[in-house]
Structures are given as structure tokens and as C-alpha cells.
Amino acid sequence: MDLTLRVWRQAGPDSPGRFETYAMPGVSEDMSFLELFDVLNEQLLADNEEPVAFDHDCREGICGSCAMMIDGRAHGPEKGTATCQLHLRKLKNGSVITVEPWRSAGFPIIKDLAVDRSAFDRIVESGGFITAPTGAARDANEILVPKEASDAAMDAAACIGCGACVAACPNSAAQLFTAAKYSHLSLLPQGQPERYTRVVAMVEEMEKYFGSCTNHGECEQACPKEISIDFIAMLNRDFVKAQFKNTRLSGQRA
Amino acid sequence: MTATQANTGQHRQPVHPGTPPAHPVLRFWRSAVGKKWIMAVTGIMLLGFVFAHMVGNLKIYLGAGPLNTYAEWLRNLGEPALPRTVLLWIMRIGLIGAFFLHIVSAAQLTRMNQRARPSKYQSPRDYAAASFASRTMRWTGVIVGLYLIFHLMDLTWGNANPRYVRGDTYENVIHSFKRVPVAIVYILANIALAIHIFHGAWSMFQSLGLNNPKWNRARRTFAMGFATLIGVVNISFPLMVVTGVVK
């Protein structure tokens, strides 16, 4: 199939950027979108030009490295699919495809399509952990967890931290990422001791870099792991509860 | 060293600079999640007002007597425990406070969201979920705010209504809505209000954290029903007067 790529080229963080057009004739429809860029970069290198910088790693949809805004959609038109798992057969033969980097104050451009997503690391560092005593592992079923709760925690834990939620959000908010990283701990018994300090710390860290959630729902549609905005409601609820919680009583049961 | 490590944080612009204050109220107010909660709570107050206002205005269809009696009843609310108009003024002050907090929060969050994406996408976005209502909240909000000032000038203060007679609610409304341009303003503003409510009445559940998969569908139904009810009934008033059905 024949495609034309319009790719955002930007030499460095402070350089001006522009779209460059590349004709990609005769590419296989079984290629992934990243393989299309591999082919493009081999051409560019053969022509002694600078290859396009883009992030990628596992190429099987679980690492969260790939990140491209494809025709105005984070990770392209296919629902629940990261850029690496988007195959060219899902695109229209002969079409012109515009590719941009994620755009957010929290994700400054490094070069071309590569952005610095370390603001996500700052959010996780602020509270996305539990403090567990070391020692022998406890028996598997010693702590009872309802099936629905463990399933929900697992759904949240599916977040790969790619940043599509921020990229897709009209407000550049990171609410879905933060909610996922918050919920996968706070829905389980092991996450309870730090639950209310965690929610305040993570929300305040998030708001240093990202916009505010106005419930558009774009993030949920863009998420390659299809994480639900239900988790955003849980984050909001716990943030408000944390304001009134006397955490000195949190060791008491019921 | 990877490129990411080399560039960590160097080019990041702070969206929300400074450190949180120690006082819990100020700290909550500073947070965007806190402001959205305040917008939801004040939004519920405003929805309650809009609903009660609509129900009261339906008395226009019963004639001048019932509408004017209802208007007088509002001023007498709380009597004899409270002097005349005191409870009305308490409710008005509550509403003014709700409007103030709702608008200030919206303005501050809008500025924060603009800072959060200093360079825009250079190609058109293809939205998958964001509705017309959700993306125009700040514009429908501004339209409703400006309309509210006109509405007060028209039917509360009387300076936009040449035939205004204090206390004669029914005739004031009829004389105002008989003017075609005024009727059009009322109709357009109430369309904006209905669109604003359609997103707001759903969004408030998320902001308050009221989310239960068993009931989530009902949230959309509620927002759609509430927005339609307010829109249809409120638009009917100027429409019925300007077409001469209600005289």
C-alpha cells in the first residue's frame, strides 16, 4: 500500500518545529506503525539525512514507550491499541497521515516525536507505592480480597504510563494516569495505611505539571489499556475524603 | 545515559507553581480537584435554583393572579419567624456566593489548563468522546452569565424594560417577552443554559466522586432529562408570549 507521512520534525527542545512530508510507496499492510517509521528512517539514513527520533521499546503494547499523535488521535484510530500495535491495514490506502508528538507542558519535546515523560515518575514517586515490612512472604490467602476489588485493582494496574491520556485530554490533564496509579494500590488492603496521604501527595504532584480534569472522557477513549474514568471519580472522592479524615484513627477497624 | 535522563525536567514549565499553604481550606481551594468539587457543589445549588425558578414561572400559564401571588409569597417566605424578604435575601446571598465561587473556579482552572498546553497541536484533533457541550462549557457559561445580568436588568431592576412596574410580575414578563429581539435573546440564552447543564449535570457526579457501575447510566439519563426539561420549559415562556398564546 501507498501512504504519505507528514511528520513533526524538531531538532531540539527549544528549536522551532515544522511538518516534513515523506512519500511511503509500496509498504506492507502487515507492518506496524513503528515499522513504517523504521522503513522511513532507513531511507533517511541512506539519503544521509537525520532519522526521525521516536520512543519505542517492547513493541508489544506493554511498555508504554511508543507515543504518537496520529491524525489527531493519541495512538491513532484503533481503540485500545498502542502505536506499536497499530497495523497499516487499519489505515486507508493512499491516505496522508499526520504525526505529531504529545503536546503538554508536562511533556516537553526532546526531539521530533520524543517527549520527556519523567513528570509521570515524579507523580509515582510522590505516593505510588506501599511501605511493606520485609521478611518472609505471607501466605497467599491470608489477606482476603473480594474478587471485584482485585479485578478493579488489576484494571487500574494495566496502566503502562504512555501518556496518551494527557495527550488526548483537551486540558492536558493527567487525571487518568494518576487515578490508575493511585487506585491499583488504594483498592487493595495492602494500600490502605497510606491511602489518604497518598491521594493528597499524588494529586498535588500531578497539578504541578498538568491541567485539570473537566470530564471530557477523551482519556478513556485514547488509553491503549482502556482504563475507565471510573478511577478518576475514585481519586476525586478520596481526595475530598482525605480533607476530613483524622488519619490518627486510621488504625481502627470500623 | 538516555535522552530522557539527559533532559529530565529541564524544559518543563510549571503549570501550578508554588507550594501548598498549610491551612486545610486554602490547600483544598488551591487544588484543581478541590476547585472542581466546589464547582460541583455550587453547580448543584444553581441547578436547584434553576429548577425552582422554572417551576415557579410555570404559574404564568395559570394567569396574572397566581403568578403575582407566588411572587409575593417568595417575599413573605419565612414569616412570621423572620421579617418579610429576609429569607429571600438569605437565599439570594447564597446564590450570589455560589455563582461567585463557580465562576472564579472556572476562570482559574481555565488559565491553569491553558498553561498546561503552551504549544497547541499543529494538526486538527479528532475527538472521540469530548462532546460539543463539554468543549463549549466556558462559552455557554459566559453566555449564561451575561444573560443573567440582562435578565436582572429586565425583570428585577427594570432598567432594561421601559414598561416595568415594581411588583406587577405578570405584566412585566408579558411586556418584556412581546419584544421580538428580547424573546430571541431569552430563547438563545436558554439553549446555552441547557447545553451547559447537559455536561454539568453529568460531570458533577465525577467531580464529587459519585461513581458506581450499577448507577452510572442513570447519571447520563439524569443530565439529559434535566437539561431537556429546563430548556423546553424555559424556552416555552418567551415563545408563548411572543407568539401571542399568552397575553
pLDDT tens digits for range B113-142: 999 999 999 999 999 999 999 999 999 999
pLDDT attached to residue A251: 82
Number of independent structural domains in chain B? 1
CA separation for the pair B2, A53 (Å, rounded): 13
pLDDT attached to residue B2: 44
Those residues of chain A that have pLDDT short of 50 are none
pLDDT attached to residue B106: 97
Residue intervals in chain A for CATH 1.10.1060.10: 118-249
Q: What is the pTM of this model?
A: 0.94
Beta carbons of B128 and A221 less than 8 Å apart: yes
Domain span at B169: 31-117+131-242
pLDDT attached to residue B10: 64
CA separation for the pair A251, A241 (Å, rounded): 16
Does residue B5 have a pLDDT over 60? no
Residue B102 lies in a domain: yes
Nearest CB neighbour to B203, from listed A117, A208, A215? A215
A118-249 carries CATH number 3.40.50.170: no
CA separation for the pair A196, A246 (Å, rounded): 10
Residue B7 lies in a domain: no
Nearest CB neighbour to A110, from listed B7, B20, B112? B7
Residue intervals in chain A for CATH 3.10.20.30: 3-110
Query: Which residue, A96, A178, A132, A119, is CA-closest to B31?
Result: A178
Q: Which residues of A touch B130 (CB under 8 A)?
A: 170, 216-218
pLDDT attached to residue B239: 97
Would an 8 Å CB–CB cutoff place B175 in contact with chain A?
A: no
Would an 8 Å CB–CB cutoff place A222 in contact with chain B?
A: yes
The distance from CA A238 to its chain's CA centroid, rounded to whole angstroms, is 22
CATH number of the domain to which B55 belongs: 1.20.1300.10
Rounded to an integer, the average pLDDT of B32-46 is 98
Residue B24 lies in a domain: no
pLDDT band of B241, cuts 50, 70, 90:
very high
Nearest CB neighbour to A216, from listed B4, B16, B130? B130
Rg (alpha carbons) of chain B, rounded to whole number: 22
- Chain B nearest-CA distance from A40, in A, is 21
Chosen from B15, B30, B120, B214 to mutate, greatest number of chain A CBs within 10 A: B15
DSSP state of A96: E
Rounded to an integer, the average pLDDT of B203-214 is 96
CA separation for the pair A171, A104 (Å, rounded): 9
Which one is predicted more confidently, B23 or B12? B23
Would an 8 Å CB–CB cutoff place A12 in contact with chain B?
A: no
Check the CA dihedral B76-B82-B87-B88 and report its sign: positive
- Cβ-Cβ contacts under 8 Å between A and B: the total is 190
Task: State the alpha helices, DSSP H only, in B209-244.
Answer: 216-242
pLDDT tens-digit map of A15-31: 999 999 999 999 999 99
pLDDT tens-digit map of B92-110: 999 999 999 999 999 999 9
pLDDT attached to residue B4: 47
Q: Which residues of A touch B211 (CB under 8 A)?
A: 230, 233-234, 237
pLDDT tens-digit map of B212-233: 999 999 999 999 999 999 999 9
Beta strands A96-100 and A73-74: pairing type?
unpaired
Residue B157 lies in a domain: yes
The backbone torsions φ and ψ at residue B222, rounded to the nearest 5 degrees and listed phi first, read -60, -50
Residue B56 lies in a domain: yes
Q: Which of residues 102-161 of A touch B (CB under 8 A)?
A: 103-106, 108-111, 114, 116-119, 122
DSSP string, A142-210: SS---HHHHHHHHHHHT-----HHHHH-TT-B-HHHHHHHHHHHHTSGGGSTTHHHHHHHHHHHHHHHS
Beta carbons of B122 and A69 less than 8 Å apart: no
Nearest CB neighbour to A236, from listed B127, B202, B206? B206
CA separation for the pair B166, B150 (Å, rounded): 17
Q: Is the peptide bond before B80 cis (omega within 30 degrees of 0)?
A: yes
Percentage of residues in chain B with pLDDT exceeding 70? Answer: 96
Residue B11 lies in a domain: no
CA separation for the pair B14, A118 (Å, rounded): 14
pLDDT band of B185, cuts 50, 70, 90:
very high
Beta carbons of A105 and B213 less than 8 Å apart: no
Q: Which of residues 16-75 of A touch B (CB under 8 A)?
A: 17, 19, 53, 69, 71-73
Nearest CB neighbour to A234, from listed B24, B129, B211? B211
ipTM for the predicted complex comes to 0.93
pLDDT attached to residue B6: 47
- Chain B nearest-CA distance from A134, in A, is 30
- Answer for the pair A207, A155: CB distance below 8 angstroms, yes or no: no
Beta carbons of B112 and A209 less than 8 Å apart: no
Residue B18 lies in a domain: no
CA distances to B26, B203, B210 from B20, in Å: 8, 26, 26
Would an 8 Å CB–CB cutoff place A235 in contact with chain B?
A: yes
Beta carbons of A103 and B117 less than 8 Å apart: yes
| Residue B73: Cβ-neighbour burial (10 angstroms; 0-12, 13-18, 19+) | exposed
- Chain A nearest-CA distance from B206, in A, is 5
Residue with cell 503502562: A160
Residue B123 lies in a domain: no
Element (H, E) at A19: strand A17-24
Rounded to an integer, the average pLDDT of B67-95 is 95
Contacts of A20 (CB under 8 A, 6+ apart): A6, A7, A9
Beta carbons of B34 and A105 less than 8 Å apart: no
The CATH label, of 3.10.20.30, 1.20.1630.10, 1.10.10.10, 3.90.226.10, for the domain at A3-110 is: 3.10.20.30
